[in-house]
Structure 1
Amino acid sequence: MQTRGVIAAVAALALVASGTPALATETDNAPAALFVAGKRGNTLSKVDLTTGDEVLRVPSCVNPHELATSPDGKHVALACYGGTSVDIFTTDTLTKIRSIELGENARPHGIVWLTAIDLYVTAEGRQSIFWVRDPLRLYPETIREELSLLEFKTGKRGSHMLVVAPDTKTAWTTDLGDRTVTKIDLLGRYAPVSVAVGEEPEGISLSPDGTTLWVSARGSNQAFALDPMTLEVRQTVATGRFPLRIAVWPQGDVAITSDLQDGALSVIDTQTAKVIRTIPVSSPVEAQARFQVTILWSKDGNRIYVAETASDTVAEVDFASGVVLRRFNAGEGGDGMAILP
């Protein structure tokens, strides 16, 4: 059966040593920015997308991975894969304001900030996901009020990446260790359901209309279109080699996979489930030197950002032409990314 627990804030919330953090400054007029987690350098970077310059880099937790910006754009949450917390920074100055402790052996990785009061993160080491309620609530320094952390067990090894339905009723994970995709009922009425999908499923993305769950399996060089509710595989697509991530275009017409061993992106027509073009980001010879991992669409769908972990760069790709426009430097081992429009 599914396990659901509420953990008190005494174990869940660690405030910064300087005391209660100040509110973030207004970011409405801030330039577009890209945030990058440097997993080798243990840093968080901010890149100004107007100039292409890395404007800030601050120390982070050990081995940071995925990132998510708050809906209002004022904060960015960082999953501390080498530890047990989710750390929250302001997007203007990268000031750390809060560290939310998830418990022993959490190893948080995939992260989604869906609404102002709903943040979700996988806890790979606990075979679970957490629903963090009201992550930005400010607490007086002398008071430790309860912070609700709802934990939902997947029961699967390596629950790594995560997507959440817009209505906040359902979440899905890719489970590398057990080679499965798991559906979690966030209302707590039903046990989780898992199905085997390819070899080493890792990438996961939900279509904008919520009708199709896309999964990339890096070990079998395939992408899969699943029914989100039944987890039935509707269509299977052969991709490039080692499709580590998959991301659906904001307009929903295509999905792309990050094919690490090819240094390229496979562009999939979501209606026909066929690869319609390939975008070379680096040559196959350069692929191992760059080691592309996370991919991220700009909010308007015109650009794709590709984290190249081994070369400490992020490539900016024009989707229409497939041309690499720029490469940014953003710390050692850039992996997880989030964008501020």
Structure 2
Amino acid sequence: MKSVFLRVVLMGVVTSFAYAQKNSGPMLLVANQHSQDISLIDTGSGKQVATVPVGGVTGHELATSPDGKTAYVPIYGNAGVGRPGTDGSEISVIDLPSRKIVGKVEFDHGVRPHCAVYDKNSGMLYVTTELDKTISIIDPKTLKIVGTVPTGQEQSHMLVLSKDGRRGYTANVGPGTVSVLDMVGRKTLTVIPISGNTQRIAMSNDGSMVFTADQKTPRLAVIDTATNKVKAWVDLPSAGYGTAPTKDGKWLLVTMRGAKQVAVVDLKTLKVARTIDVGDGPAEVVISEDGKKAYVACNFSDQVAVIDLAGWKMETLIAAGKFADGMAWGQ
């Protein structure tokens, strides 16, 4: 009887140890465009621990549920924004604990769904649907489309929401504009001209500024959300792409794909304070919950760069899938 008890205890210890080894840090999810899957990266060990096929041609971006257990991956298609190719018409829903697709959101025509944002205020999932010039509103409980918000522009590629979920801002790539959206009233408030082409979008922590990168000139547009006008431009060493503010709200990280660098912008002076070398083709950037590290998806080197935000230097490069792109935090 004693030996049986010991075996049970030991099995429990081994199981707990294995679980701890498997989940030694927060889980970073990475959408890999060309390998058509998502990487599950254990940030504690700095290694990819699994991949999950997304069930479609290509998923560029993804979002997770508030509990971090479900991922939503829009299936965009096999082309870049504004280019000829297939038009995706669904979103894959992935259960992260089982690492399986457990559902689909289906559109009745091709819409090229791209950027997904889970709004904790309304409990709704918002997804940019480029070909319809809208943001689609999805109920995550039923996986049904329950409404839309018009953007009034072609190629509404990326979306950022205010903290209260009442305002939305889209980067409209080809038109080079930003649409300001009333997410509650489901209407476009205004369209802000930026450039002949713009990419990605982010908001300052206090909600006072929105940032998007000019693709014609190496500079960043800074939009005043009180006036919905461009209030300043930040000159960059190279063309910018993705952006993310640090947790303390003092700095904005800007990826520069051609330079293989991340620029660090001082949000008081709106000047570049320093640059950090990373992998090839840095695109999207996310900040860890504790604010100590930044993770940068590097498209061309199929890696995720880890930046120490205290020392302002790259710590390591983590292998991901082919053309690592959109990222989100999961469990």
TM-score class, shorter-chain normalisation, is 0.7 to 0.9
Structure 1 residue matching 2:248: 3-state secondary structure = coil
Structure 2 residue matching 1:64: 3-state secondary structure = coil
Quick check: which has more Rg, 1 or 2? 2
Aligned residue in 2 for 1:309: 299
Match of 1:59 among 53, 58, 66: 53
Match of 1:49 among 25, 43, 56: 43
Match of 1:122 among 125, 128, 136: 128
Determine whether 1:75 maps to 2:70. Answer: yes
Distance 1:41 1:132 in 2: 27
Aligned residue in 1 for 2:210: 213
Identity, in percent, stands at: 30
The 3 A distance-change label for structure 1 pair 312 and 185 is: same
Distance 2:64 2:96 in 1: 8
Map Cα deviations across residues 98-150 of structure 1 (whole Å, 9 max, x no partner): 211234221111221121722111011211111212x1348xxxxxxxx3421
The 3 A distance-change label for structure 1 pair 265 and 189 is: closer
Task: Summarize the alignment of residues 191-270 of structure 1 with structure 2, pairs less than 5 Å apart.
Answer: 191-270=188-267
User: Is the 1:200–1:220 contact (alpha carbons within 8 Å) kept by the matching residues of 2?
Assistant: no
Determine whether 1:336 maps to 2:330. Answer: no
User: Is the 2:243–2:285 contact (alpha carbons within 8 Å) kept by the matching residues of 1?
Assistant: yes
Aligned residue in 2 for 1:171: 168
User: Is the 2:175–2:196 contact (alpha carbons within 8 Å) kept by the matching residues of 1?
Assistant: no
User: Is the 2:254–2:262 contact (alpha carbons within 8 Å) kept by the matching residues of 1?
Assistant: yes
Aligned residue in 2 for 1:132: 138
Distance 2:237 2:126 in 1: 30
Aligned residue in 2 for 1:21: none
User: Is the 1:199–1:220 contact (alpha carbons within 8 Å) kept by the matching residues of 2?
Assistant: no
* 2:270 partner amino acid: A
Aligned residue in 1 for 2:81: none
User: Is the 1:203–1:217 contact (alpha carbons within 8 Å) kept by the matching residues of 2?
Assistant: no
Structure 1 residue matching 2:131: 3-state secondary structure = helix
Determine whether 1:95 maps to 2:89. Answer: no
Aligned residue in 1 for 2:110: 105
Per the TM alignment, residue 191 of structure 1 is displaced from its structure 2 partner at its CA by 3.7
Distance 2:75 2:124 in 1: 18
Match of 1:295 among 264, 285, 288: 285
Q: For this pair of structures, how many residues does the alignment match? A: 298
Distance 1:229 1:87 in 2: 36
Cα RMSD for the two superposed structures: 2.0
Aligned residue in 2 for 1:7: none
Q: Could you say which structure has the greater relative contact order, defined with CA pairs below 8 angstroms and 6 or more residues apart?
A: 1
User: Is the 2:114–2:129 contact (alpha carbons within 8 Å) kept by the matching residues of 1?
Assistant: yes
TM-score (norm 1): 0.82
* 1:233 partner amino acid: V
Structure 1 residue matching 2:290: 3-state secondary structure = coil
Per the TM alignment, residue 56 of structure 1 is displaced from its structure 2 partner at its CA by 1.2
* 2:118 partner amino acid: W
What stretches of structure 1 move > 3 A for 4+ residues in a row?
A: 189-192
TM-score (norm 2): 0.84
Distance 1:309 1:211 in 2: 30
The 3 A distance-change label for structure 1 pair 270 and 149 is: same
